[in-house]
Amino acid sequence: MDGIITILCALLGSGAATALVTGVVGLRAEQRRTETGESQGLRWLLQDRLEQQALTYLEKGSISYEELRSWNRGHHIYHDLLGGNGDLNGLKDQLRRLFYGSEEEIKHD
């Protein structure tokens, strides 16, 4: 009889432990999927900054290699690391054309 009770307790205990671990893992995964206000705000600020910079370069009619490189680094952070939606991709193409000159030169880059 003691053996059956021991087995039942072990089964109940392992089931509870499994449920607890599964719940904790699921909660952590959900937290990673949910954006914080901080990440949304950071993405918005970076998007605004990149737009303002791009418009300044386009109005000026030129962009240096260092400026384009820095802008591209910011775009990478915005788009790839912070999950930006691609709104700045058109400006990225315009800045590349501004630096390289023609579409043909961009294709060979």
Give the model confidence (pLDDT) of 5-58 as tens digits: 666 555 556 565 565 556 655 666 565 556 788 888 999 999 999 999 999 999
57 and 22 in a single domain? The answer is no
Query: Total domain count for the chain?
Result: 2
Domain assignment of residue 103, given as a range: 37-109
Give residue 49's identity as a one-letter amino acid code: R
107 and 55 in a single domain? The answer is yes
The residue written with tokens 């700045």 in the block is: 88
Identify the three-state secondary structure at position 61: coil
Res 67: pLDDT: 97
Q: State the Cα–Cα distance between residues 73 and 79, nearest whole angstrom.
A: 10
Q: State the Cα–Cα distance between residues 34 and 83, nearest whole angstrom.
A: 12
The pTM of the full predicted model, rounded to 2 decimals, is 0.62
Cβ atoms 86, 79 nearer than 8 A: yes
81 and 70 in a single domain? The answer is yes
Q: State the Cα–Cα distance between residues 46 and 51, nearest whole angstrom.
A: 9
Res 59: pLDDT: 97
Res 103: pLDDT: 52
Look at phi and psi of residue 46 and say left if phi exceeds 0, alpha if psi is from -120 to 50, else beta.
alpha
Cβ atoms 100, 106 nearer than 8 A: yes
Quick one: tokens of 35? 């954006």
16 and 60 in a single domain? The answer is no
Res 37: pLDDT: 84
